[in-house]
Chain A
Amino acid sequence: MTVTQVSAGWVPLAAALLLTVATAAAALDGVLAARSAGRPLSGGLLTPAAETARLFRQRRRTTIAADLPLQRIGGAGLLTAALLMVVVVPFGRWTVADMAVGVVWFNALDVLLWAALWLAGWGPNSVHPLVAGHRFLAQALSYELPLMFALTTPAVAAGSLRLGDLVAAQAGLWFMVWMPVAFVVFCAGVVAFSAWGPFSAALGSGAAGGVLAESAGVDRWLVTAGRYALLTAGSAFGVTAFLGGGHGPLLPAWLWVLVKTSLLLAVLVALRRRLPVVRPERLAVPAWLVVLPLVLLQLLVVSVVVVARG
């Protein structure tokens, strides 16, 4: 299966697709929230629409001596990074940008979130967001290196940083089968850079809403929507790099990408209500002493297999 680059006119459609899947993820989270609260599930399904309507009518909140430009740049950064991430992810036979260094591109954009969340925390000139922004950076120091090596593993196996080549290399066997550690670490990395579930200390109730404590209206919407978009973009990338991309029987390649992305995304969204939040300072020791050696070992195994195969 070869991947062809579509013309720039398709970019809005790709963005709309990302936002649609992200909305579905928000609806799923709404349903899960309604179920755990014992409310009717149909109300939960409408959560994205209701939240959007509520936040778009709400006034923006400004604090005293706030650094508004930095706050706005940071708040918009999440959604922007997610949109730029999916640019390199092949949707079946098509891709928006057939980049030779697609894997590094994805990595660079997830690093952009370090800046985005910290700026969104710094901007309001308020204690809780500031603490939460620093918390996110502390967490980033734990997840980023394992994530980088998890991203390196499929690239080493495929001998290329191009996502189309990654998909082509999985024609026989999905990478998830023989690099499960890298896959799990990658998924954890996606959850962590989206500040979601167990890694949501920067946005959790532990710091009165964290980065979002002083944000209302469209600013709050951008960060919230950005998180779902990031989870979606991360899932789409994970499907491409580990779950065979468009490979699968019967269905067309693009539909397989959509189905697999939705399934992986649903798992990541459901994690939120399954796992407790991990404090960033407690994450450092297991991340550096356990996860990083494990993922390096995984990389070694994959490299040996690649060299042995010749």
Chain B
Amino acid sequence: MLSEIVFWVLAVVAIAAGVAVFRVDSMARATYALAASFVAVGLALLLLDLQFLGVMTVLMMVMEMAIMAIYMIMFMGMNPALMPMSMVHGKRPALLVSIGTFVVLAAGAVLVPWPTRRGAPAADLVTSLGEAVMHSKMLVMLTVSPVLFATIVAALVLALPRGRYDRLGPELRHRSRHGRADR
């Protein structure tokens, strides 16, 4: 009973916050509405006894949105708090795509004959999740993570107009001027 109430509250919050992303008129509000929607989804995962995944979703999404808000505001080059702006563009194609996606997913959920449960969940879900990820998929993880990391570093190097080589010289030997980029 209680878990049903919690589920419905979280579901309504997740959807309402998701709708709010497109209804509000500021970057900060849109970003944190999205974060709130994800937090509700993460907490709903706790109801499935997926504690690790649920809490991890909250952690990752809040962190991600906190950084994303900065980038959104930065790239917009304006202060949306002073100048309200619309969060939607290309309305008609977006509407078509989203309705189509919803119909396909909802039809799938309703029409697909769901298999009945075979076996029982493991006693220690965190351990079995870790084994599932790190045992058979270890090679994939080991290949993908350095590539992802290299991509992030390379993107940052390309995006950074002035790095430590500007401050410390080509051999990184000059003394730092209080960590400040020279003008």
Contacts and interface: CB of A to CB of B under 8 A. Distances in A.
A111 B63 contact: yes
B66 A137 contact: yes
Interface residues of A, number: 30
Interface of B: 26, 28-29, 32, 35, 51-52, 55-56, 58-59, 62-63, 65-67, 69-70, 81-82, 124-126, 164, 178-180
A122 interface: yes
Contact of B55 (A105, A118, A122): A105
Interface string A146-161: 0000000000000001
A100 interface: yes
Contact of B28 (A70, A104, A282, A285): A70
A154 B159 CA distance: 37
9 contacts: A101-B55, A104-B52, A104-B55, A108-B59, A115-B65, A118-B66, A125-B81, A161-B52, A285-B179
B84 to A, nearest CB: 10
Interface of B: prevailing SS: helix
Contacts, number: 71
A144 B32 CA distance: 20
B51 A101 contact: yes
A114 interface: yes
A108 B58 contact: yes
A70 B82 contact: no
A227 interface: no
Interface string A54-89: 000000000001010110010000000000000000
A128 interface: no
Interface string A274-285: 000001011011
Contacts of B56: 104, 108
A282 B66 contact: no
A115 B59 contact: no
User: Which one of B28, B66, B82 has the greatest number of beta carbons of chain A within 10 Å?
Assistant: B66
B81 A115 contact: no
A122 B62 CA distance: 16
Interface in A251-299: 279, 281-282, 284-285
Nearest to A141: B67
A67 B35 contact: no
B28 A107 contact: no
B55 A108 contact: yes
A119 B28 CA distance: 8
A99 interface: yes
A295 to B, nearest CB: 18
User: Which one of B52, B55, B178, B180 has the greatest number of beta carbons of chain A within 10 Å?
Assistant: B55
B32 A115 contact: yes
Nearest to B42: A108
A112 interface: yes
Given A101-B126, A282-B178, A65 B62 contact: no
A134 interface: yes
